[in-house]
């Protein structure tokens, strides 16, 4: 009688502890589940289970980041209440010993003072914990009945006369632009120094592969 045979595949699914700061981002925003907690996520995480079944801007941005972040993508998510303070979630992450390269705040800003506060928070992290981060903020996308010209007039005061070099603002023109950019910046296939507009690092806005020319530059 023939003996049975067992094959064992030892696969590295990137599910171990995160051991580097680079490409590891903290997403903070309103969410219906695990509010006030820090959730470690990777490419295999069930986002409905971790961030709640109902749609939320936090889950939308994390989903877009995962689509664009490559096979080694991972992040931290900090769901907060609708009127919650992102500063508290950021401080909680520091007190629990988490180090990240960037902080992604999904609730759109509407005033320059908010960008200044984010910049001050980034500087404070460096001064207090020796952790150097940059902050990715969102601004609202265009909605009817605004024309493009009217939208530009509405958006310009947000960044006018604001000195916040550690903060970048991403208009949510497609609803998930912030997450797309965060994912492409965190993609291990490229460097943080590369412009995400000039590398083929994943699907743009989750709509499909980026068409590129012979030199890899998006068309």
Q: How confident is the model at residue 197 (pLDDT cuts 50, 70, 90)?
A: low
* pLDDT 10s digits, 57-110: 999 999 999 999 998 999 999 999 999 999 999 999 999 999 999 999 999 999
Measuring CA to CA, how many Å separate 4 from each of 1, 7, 10, 214? 9, 10, 20, 50
Measuring CA to CA, how many Å separate 197 from each of 60, 70, 185? 21, 16, 10
Q: How confident is the model at residue 203 (pLDDT cuts 50, 70, 90)?
A: very low
Region 197-207: mean pLDDT is 49
Predicted confidence at residue 195, as pLDDT, reads 58
Q: Where are the domains of the chain?
A: 25-195
Predicted confidence at residue 218, as pLDDT, reads 43
* pLDDT 10s digits, 134-181: 999 999 999 989 999 999 999 999 999 999 999 999 999 999 999 999
Predicted confidence at residue 209, as pLDDT, reads 41
Encode 93-110: b = buried (16+ Cβ within 10 Å), e = exposed: bbeeebbbbbbbbbbbbe
CATH number of 25-195: 3.40.50.11780
Predicted confidence at residue 61, as pLDDT, reads 97
* pLDDT 10s digits, 13-27: 555 556 678 899 999
Predicted confidence at residue 122, as pLDDT, reads 96
Predicted confidence at residue 198, as pLDDT, reads 54
């Amino acid at each position: 009688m023939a003996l049975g045979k067992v094959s064992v595949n030892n696969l590295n699914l990137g599910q171990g502890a995160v051991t580097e700061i680079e490409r590891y981002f903290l997403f903070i925003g309103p969410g219906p589940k695990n509010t006030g907690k820090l959730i470690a996520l990777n490419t295999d995480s069930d986002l409905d289970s971790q961030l709640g079944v109902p749609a939320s801007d936090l889950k939308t941005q994390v989903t877009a980041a995962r689509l664009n972040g490559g096979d080694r993508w991972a992040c931290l998510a900090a769901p907060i209440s609708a009127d919650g303070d992102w500063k508290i979630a950021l401080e909680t992450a520091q007190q629990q010993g988490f180090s990240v390269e960037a902080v992604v705040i999904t609730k759109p800003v509407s005033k320059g003072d908010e960008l200044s506060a984010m910049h001050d928070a980034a500087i404070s992290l460096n001064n207090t914990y020796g952790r150097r981060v940059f902050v990715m903020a969102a601004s609202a996308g265009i909605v009817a009945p605004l024309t493009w010209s009217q939208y530009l007039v509405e958006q310009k005061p947000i960044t006018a006369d604001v000195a916040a070099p550690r903060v970048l603002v991403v208009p949510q023109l497609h609803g998930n632009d912030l997450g797309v950019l965060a994912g492409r910046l965190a993609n291990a296939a490229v460097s943080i120094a590369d412009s995400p507009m000039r590398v083929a690092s994943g699907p743009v806005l989750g709509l499909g592969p980026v068409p590129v020319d012979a030199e890899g530059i998006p068309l």
